[in-house]
Structure 1
Amino acid sequence: MKKNVSLFLMLFFSVLTFAQKTVSGKIMDEDGIAIPSASVTVEEPGKDAILAYGITNSKGEYKVTFTSAEANVDLKVKAFNQKPLTKQITNSDQTLTFKMQSEATEIKEVQLKTKMITSRGDTIAYDLKAFDSKSDRTLADVMRKIPGIEVNTDGTILYQGNAINKFYVNGKDLMEGGYGTINNSLPKDAVQKVEVLENHQPVKILQDKVPSDAAAINIKLKNSVTMTGRGEVGTGFGDPWLWNVKLTPMFFGQKSQWVVNYKTNNMGEQVENEGNILAFGSRFEGKRINASQNDWLNVENADTPDLPVKRYLMNNVHYLSANYLTNIDKKKEWELKANANYTNNAVEREAYSQRDYFGGSSNITNIFNNFYTDKAKGELIFTKNAKKGFFKNTTSFSQYWNADRGIVDRTDAKTGKLTHADEGIESPTTSFQNSLSTIVPWKEKMVNLLSYVSYQTDKQTLEVSPSSYLDIPGFNPVANTDFARQSLRLKTFEANHSANIGFSVKGWTFTPEVGFNFKSTDMVSDLSNIKAIPSTDPNISDPKPEAYYNDLKYTTATPYGSVGVNYKNDSWMLYANFPVNSNNIKAEDPLRKVSKEVNKVTFEPSIFAQYTFASFWKASVNANINNNFGEINTAYSGFLMTSPSGINTMDKDNPIPENNNKSAGTRIEYRNPLNNLFFNVNYRYSDAKRNLISNPEINGGGYTIMKYKVQDNHVLNNGYSVEVGKYFPKFKTNASLSYSNNTAESDAFLNDKSYTNKNNGQSFGIKFNNTYFSWMSIDYNASLSKTKQTSVGELNSSATRTGFTHNLGLFFYPIENHTVGFNWDQVNTNAADQKYHNGFYDVSYQFTWAKKKIDFELKWMNIANKKVFETYDINTTNITYTRYQLRPSQFMFTVKFNFK
């Protein structure tokens, strides 16, 4: 391990220090007048490869940093109406001034050609028309073909493997991070270009003071005022009758923007996640979260396969959302945003599995589920983002009315004992948050006030019938009862307040801060119609009735002080934080006279440094230390049936968990828009030290009672990855290769037997798309993975699993306005002597009414009518064979159109 780290750091620092040279100076014409916007490139002699480049500013000044092992390099200068200049210079730091000779630039034709990729400073712009194919209709379709960019099915955008921090349309942030709706529904014809804003600091008053390593996306539309949108209406037959409706009108103006979205289907398309917050911006904007339930209690769930969701999702979903932005002052500094969405979703799921635990237990389960989601969210945001001040207040409210059902048959694989249960849970949740952040200039300083308040109530009731189904170790149902019930209520209040002052000195910005974080959770629970089996050991007393109740209050109060340090110049970017936290945690349970406390001061520094060199290279290192002390779900002492398959509790004498996490990483990144080449190399190492370790007790039927031991233990993780992508304009092909290797090692217990668990996962991926031929386009993604699970100690086991997946999308254009499509998903799993090969095929035909820009599509999905999917998985405690129920063959007719 240390050897790997040392080698990687040696490589990292050698890249930083090897032959870095800077050439600077001024470019003038024959009369000594400065020439702006002249290009200055450095190349190795005899090679058609640019090492670095620069553009002169309004004063004709340039600066180019490059790396080369050659003794001499060629410096080339080009400018409009000037004769190109080439000079061979030594590979050294130097200042050179050039005078260019006038030469008229002949324009043979009045024809403008747009470069497909251009770069200026930290902004890389992509001409969308250079990457699209005849089958593409939306922004997301085309962005998947842009080098360095990945797009997930929910619309999430990754740049160089990392999530973006902002998504703008014509410079405005309408969606506040929930940009999936626009990405998946904005017609490509409305877009002029896509801009990647590297090192983007979204708070204007902090630009050039507090740096950022994240990138943002700005979508530049063809028109400053655009009314557009995308719609689909489809129907079909399979089992049952199918429908698919998508209606997403959009308006983007100079003063206001809005998007209205309604999507419904029962054909397996997951649309309800498009409104999730995918980009979180800067911490100085306040705190925003994807509100969620504290789902402590659950029915037994059928697992989901590692397949595209459309292959297995049995859904009936209605999703409605609306987003609105308007400027409320003449200077267009103040913005009002209102966002709302509503989801109604019913999902069916079925799976059969055999799970063999390393401790010797084995069980077979057949689970049929119905999941009912009913939720609403509203959000109101006031923002002022100007060079002279910042203000943002976000108020959000969420309400859930969810319910789940489960029908379960469970068999002890060794004894053959069969049990059956009907399970149900009701789980309403109410959630409210308000976040306020303001930055006010004060002389040469900046004063930042942050406030966050959250209140949430969760009420959950889980019932299992018959109660005799519960074969949990050490427990029996109460005689003559038809069901067992677990009720739970949580009330959570959180308040975080802080103030800081920022001041700058010679490129450095220092931000001392003080703050106070407080969180309080009240938990009340009741487990009824179940009791402990009387102990035969006279030294062990049976649990008293109050053991089935919980009345716990858990509070965390953390005053803190910190100093933030930021620095940025042309080459270096640094930001670090050095907080000292006074952690005061208390868990009180008057029912069983338990009171636990932790009062501990911790130092939790974090640092990030990035160096940009030779125009196209970035190298960075980061490290941090943090501590956490568990939550209320690690502190209760009464029994809690979190699932009909298991009961959890913490020994009342156990201390509050204390976890210390240390991590470090490094990254080397290259992105060259001149030759369309992008790649990055990453390494990450972490060590998590814990004072408690889980010790699940699992019987033959797979029922679990979760226990914990007081014992220091570690979880070690280290991994590295590399990704290379290049666009070949001559062949209109975008291709990328990726490799990752991750290892996790941890101490573990199972049925009181200790062992060391080691998991190594490797994956290799390839992607490419090609639009070279006018009659065909192709998209291909494939990955090969290998997982090895090893347990050494009182439990010894070893298992290896390999997997192969690929997706092939072919589109043929035999006649103008006619498209024939073919899609092939393949998922293979090999483990021990088990081999499962699963292939899925779709075909489609589309006619385009070009004049009206309307598509008519016929699509046949799952041609082979494959109804089950089989796989073999390796987990930390078991090996599992699973057979999943899939969507049958289905046929759809869809009309697709743009709103304008």
Structure 2
Amino acid sequence: MRKITSLFLMLFFITSAFAQKTVSGKVTDDDGVAIPSASVIIEEPGKDAILAYGITNAKGEYKVTFTSAEANVDLKVKAFNQKPLIKQISNSDQVLNFKMQSEATEIKEVQLKTKMITARGDTISYDLKAFNSKNDRTLADVMKKIPGIEVNKDGTILYQGNAINKFYVNGKDLMEGGYGTINNSLPKDAVQKVEVLENHQPVKILQDKVPSDQAAINIKLKNSVTMTGRGEVGTGFGEPWLWNVKLTPMFFGQKSQWVVNYKTNNMGEQVESEGNILAFGSSWEGRRSNVSQNNWLNVENASVPALPVKRYLMNSVHYLSANYLTNIDKKKEWELKANANYTNNAVERESESTTNDFQQNAQYANKFINNFYTDKLKGELIFTKNAKKGFFKNTTTFSQYWNGDRTNAYRKDQLSERTGMEALQSPTSSFQNSLSTIIPWKEKMINLKSYINYQDDRQDLQISPANYMQIPFRDSPDGPLKTIDFVPGSTALQRFRIRTLDTSHSANVSFTKKGWTFTPQVGLDYSTNKLDTNFDGTTVSGNPDFNSSAYENSLKFTEIIPSASLGVNYKSEAWSLFANFPVNFNNIKADDALRNVSKTLNKTTFTPNIFVQYSFASFFKASVNGNISNNFGDIQTAYGGYIMTNPGSFNVMNPSNPIPQSTTNSLGGRLEYRNPLNNLFFNVGARLGDTKNNLIASTSVNQYGFRVTEYLERENKKTSNSYYAEIGKYFPKFKTNASLTYNKTISKSQAIRNTDFVDTKSDGNTFGIKFNNTYFSWMSIDFNASKTWNKQTNIFLTGNLGKAEEYTHNLNVYFYPLENHTIGFYWDQINSKSGDTKYNNGFFDLSYQFSWSKKKVDFELKWMNIANKKVFERIDIDNATITQTAMKLRPSQVMFTVKFNFK
């Protein structure tokens, strides 16, 4: 509570430090006629620094809010064909009207020159030409260099550190959140500018009624009708023969848009992730999610290095997608969208590791060789009406998986060596339908939402021979740790099936008056899960019998949650508020027919959430948010029989335990500054959170690294506090964009390991820098670096044992010795340290590119992993273990690629 109070006080003093003053009035000409689009600028005397600015509306009215410690400030008024006005005014609230004298603006030559960054209201526009370099070809290449915008490794676009909620092209949302395809393949030459729509409410009928704290991106193309796209065809040699094909034609018209995308390669590019949903829109649009499998069972997996994927991914992938949008009425209010994608992917992975267990004073080694096979089909049909007088959206999604995984596993300890073959088959069928409509009724709005999801997951995990496994168990909670031995040469099989039905229905009515919107809502959520599992394995004489009911599950888990809530929203020029005050009537039942156990929970909860944002001094935004949430577990925390989740681990829930309950409290504060006049952006904030649970994980681990995890009834608490800051600026004189970031996270958690209570504290710090420069005509530079310090402390990791450091950088340098010729140098460096152990991993690539500028075709020859580094080494720290791992990398390879635009 003390930390929460401190955070509120910090934000109060931050906002109080900026004592705001407002100057308003009207600007007219000699005849008293209003002058629209005149600029009104506030500056400190004697300083070339803009404090705030405003633009007059059609009536010539303006309003400028600013803060300054000076007694007086300079006010400047400028308009086309008018003589500029400069006046020193007092630092106080006042109304000032100006009459400007006519003065012809002499234009010596016709030369149009756009600004790099411009702002009008909540829209910030970036001129793409100001930020690109000679080697950039796609929108994604340039987006990474725009101040205030970041692009994560997974393709997610962030503005001021937060994910965007929409991605438009010429105002249309073709991709419905899966914008990676367009971002990666849209030629930069087709783009006029990138617009950031701050505080964007995507549902038009709610604009100016229900505020939003998220931003959207709109890509404005040079032409209203554009046929374009990007393609690559490449081949090369390494181990084995290499190929890379990318074909992404696109069409953007006024009535329809479409994108077709086919990508295939075996040279380490993870193209299938382009189909992921990265922006989720507004909750008023219904539910939107990435469909995923219920992966309860897994083979043992080789570790993945903290490297760019292209360094280690041994793949053979085919990815095909198609997205289509068309207006189906004359008013262009109704849209039909059809999206589909198919993935066929085979991945190889290999790693070796040595683990030191400080609790047991034991050491063991593992080696895993994986083959993962993904076969996935997804289709989606969306009908949307998004108009000022009504909203309708229905999304129907079907997904089918036919996945299979294989592992060759090796384990070695002080006494023995074992090998095992692991195979997992996991087909999944999924159907979803989300409907949301908003109907205007006089001065009110009625919103009806309905969501249905049905999913059927099957998984079969087989281990041969079964005696590869040596699973620990205890006769009693405090008894000695024993080991289950399987008959040599036998086979073990874990079968699993879960059928899930989720439904959610709600209705609300919204009342709007003087900027306030009140939305009372009633809803009903119903879900049911049916779990069936069994394990077949034969143990040696004297061990437990795995054919007994202790290793079977037949569980039905049902949740019925009626709810009532009140939404409160407010929107003014300076303030935004949205809050929700829901009361949930939770009714949960878990029936275990095998054990004659029936658990129930009936509890009423109040889970409010609130967000308040204050905009001031033209460029600043301060916000506070907080929420309380409850979770009463799910079927994963309610079963009573053992389940082999992977060949190294069994999980079990105690049938006598109550239904799990957890309560999470979260509070955050944030201060933003974005000034397009001097190209400066920064944000700083904090988030404090804690979670209370009634069950605690208790893990039994033997000297071979095999484990059993069960949950005991014991109250425990987890806290996580994070603090962050980011500042970025573009220096137009030097054509340089630079940013600095800092993150600090302190967390505390509790667990039980081999009957020892483990209270772990983790302290992580990360400092990052991003830098790109295009000042020289013969060279451009992109540089990203981060330094991380982590420390874990518990009863097993004392002193320097829990300390770890990591340094990472990515450097790309391009040289342009002659027109249309480019030489690229790439350097990825990853260094890690724990105690006296250090690993330095450096990777170098070299490329030569010739550009046939007339045809917009590039010919590239690229040599990757010049040093032919074959393994990546890393140290991982767990509660009681330190693991040193070597992971297999892609060998040195050479690729020749032809790159081109479709038009």
* Counterpart residue identity of residue 363, structure 1: Y
Question: Which residue of 1 is the match for residue 392 of structure 2?
Answer: 391
Question: Which residue of 2 is the match for residue 198 of structure 1?
Answer: 198
Contact persistence 1:244–1:264 (CA under 8 A): yes
CA distance in 2, matches of 1:311, 1:480: 39
Question: Which residue of 2 is the match for residue 167 of structure 1?
Answer: 167
Matched, 1:730 2:733: yes
Shift of 1:11: 3.3
Shift of 1:480: 6.5
Matched, 1:152 2:152: yes
Alignment of 1:272-311 (within 5 A): 272-311=272-311
Secondary structure class of the residue paired with 1:814? coil
Secondary structure class of the residue paired with 2:272? coil
Question: Which residue of 1 is the match for residue 525 of structure 2?
Answer: 517
Question: Which residue of 1 is the match for residue 480 of structure 2?
Answer: none
Secondary structure class of the residue paired with 2:472? coil
Alignment of 1:374-413 (within 5 A): 374-412=375-413
Secondary structure class of the residue paired with 1:721? strand
CA distance in 2, matches of 1:482, 1:867: 36
Question: Which residue of 1 is the match for residue 20 of structure 2?
Answer: 20
Residue of structure 2 aligned with 1:499, choices 507, 515, 537? 507
CA distance in 2, matches of 1:502, 1:230: 46
Contact persistence 2:20–2:67 (CA under 8 A): yes
Residue of structure 2 aligned with 1:671, choices 669, 674, 690? 674
Shift of 1:490: 0.5
Question: Which residue of 2 is the match for residue 420 of structure 1?
Answer: 419
Shift of 1:533: 7.8
CA distance in 1, matches of 2:780, 2:11: 39
Residues 868-899 of structure 1: per-residue CA shift (max 9 Å, x gap): 01111223342211100000000000000000
CA distance in 2, matches of 1:701, 1:350: 20
Alignment of 1:675-714 (within 5 A): 675-714=678-717
Q: TM-score w.r.t. structure 1 length?
A: 0.98
Secondary structure class of the residue paired with 1:274? helix
CA distance in 1, matches of 2:888, 2:810: 21
CA distance in 1, matches of 2:728, 2:798: 43
Shift of 1:158: 0.7
Q: 1:892 to 1:542 in 2, by over 3 A?
A: closer
Q: 1:882 to 1:544 in 2, by over 3 A?
A: closer
Shift of 1:545: 1.1
Please, which moves more after superposition, 29-38 or 188-197? 29-38
Contact persistence 2:277–2:290 (CA under 8 A): yes
Matched, 1:489 2:492: no
Secondary structure class of the residue paired with 1:9? helix
CA distance in 2, matches of 1:180, 1:674: 30
Q: TM-score w.r.t. structure 2 length?
A: 0.97
Shift of 1:529: 1.1
CA distance in 2, matches of 1:480, 1:821: 56
Residues 720-774 of structure 1: per-residue CA shift (max 9 Å, x gap): 0000000000000000001111011012211110121000100100001000111
Shift of 1:6: 5.1
Question: Which residue of 1 is the match for residue 652 of structure 2?
Answer: 649
Please, which moves more after superposition, 321-330 or 739-748? 739-748
* Counterpart residue identity of residue 853, structure 2: A
Question: Which residue of 2 is the match for residue 357 of structure 1?
Answer: 357
Question: Which residue of 1 is the match for residue 139 of structure 2?
Answer: 139
CA distance in 1, matches of 2:472, 2:6: 50
* Counterpart residue identity of residue 177, structure 2: G
Secondary structure class of the residue paired with 1:142? helix
Matched, 1:885 2:884: no
CA distance in 2, matches of 1:245, 1:794: 49
* Counterpart residue identity of residue 714, structure 1: K
CA distance in 2, matches of 1:681, 1:530: 59
Question: Which residue of 2 is the match for residue 369 of structure 1?
Answer: 370
Question: Which residue of 2 is the match for residue 128 of structure 1?
Answer: 128
Residue of structure 1 aligned with 2:605, choices 602, 605, 615? 602
Question: Which residue of 1 is the match for residue 588 of structure 2?
Answer: 585
Matched, 1:436 2:435: yes
Secondary structure class of the residue paired with 2:284? helix
CA distance in 1, matches of 2:541, 2:566: 56
CA distance in 2, matches of 1:844, 1:56: 52
Question: Which residue of 2 is the match for residue 313 of structure 1?
Answer: 313
Question: Which residue of 2 is the match for residue 803 of structure 1?
Answer: 806
Residue of structure 2 aligned with 1:853, choices 856, 861, 864? 856
CA distance in 2, matches of 1:603, 1:205: 29
Contact persistence 1:754–1:795 (CA under 8 A): no
Shift of 1:99: 1.0
CA distance in 1, matches of 2:36, 2:778: 44
Matched, 1:630 2:617: no
CA distance in 1, matches of 2:484, 2:760: 33
CA distance in 1, matches of 2:766, 2:111: 47
Secondary structure class of the residue paired with 1:502? strand
Question: Which residue of 2 is the match for residue 538 of structure 1?
Answer: none
> How many pairs align?
892
Shift of 1:481: 5.5
Matched, 1:348 2:356: no
CA distance in 1, matches of 2:11, 2:435: 40
Please, which moves more after superposition, 469-478 or 801-810? 469-478
Residues 44-81 of structure 1: per-residue CA shift (max 9 Å, x gap): 11111111111010111111111111111111111111
Residues 452-491 of structure 1: per-residue CA shift (max 9 Å, x gap): 0000000000000001111001363554662100000010
Contact persistence 2:464–2:489 (CA under 8 A): no
Contact persistence 1:756–1:793 (CA under 8 A): no
Q: 1:851 to 1:159 in 2, by over 3 A?
A: same
Shift of 1:15: 2.6
Secondary structure class of the residue paired with 2:653? coil
Please, which moves more after superposition, 557-566 or 477-486? 477-486
Question: Which residue of 1 is the match for residue 476 of structure 2?
Answer: none
Shift of 1:799: 1.3
CA distance in 2, matches of 1:471, 1:797: 32
* Counterpart residue identity of residue 109, structure 1: E
* Counterpart residue identity of residue 436, structure 1: L
Q: Show structure 1 runs of 5+ residues with no match.
A: 536-540
CA RMSD of aligned residues (A): 1.5
Q: 1:28 to 1:769 in 2, by over 3 A?
A: same
CA distance in 2, matches of 1:9, 1:566: 21
Please, which moves more after superposition, 451-460 or 87-96? 87-96
Shift of 1:709: 1.5
CA distance in 1, matches of 2:546, 2:383: 54
Residues 473-524 of structure 1: per-residue CA shift (max 9 Å, x gap): 1363554662100000010001000000001011100000000001100000
Residues 172-227 of structure 1: per-residue CA shift (max 9 Å, x gap): 00000000000000000000000000000000000000000000000000000000
Secondary structure class of the residue paired with 1:468? helix
Contact persistence 1:754–1:794 (CA under 8 A): no
Shift of 1:8: 4.3
CA distance in 2, matches of 1:731, 1:588: 68
Question: Which residue of 2 is the match for residue 662 of structure 1?
Answer: 665
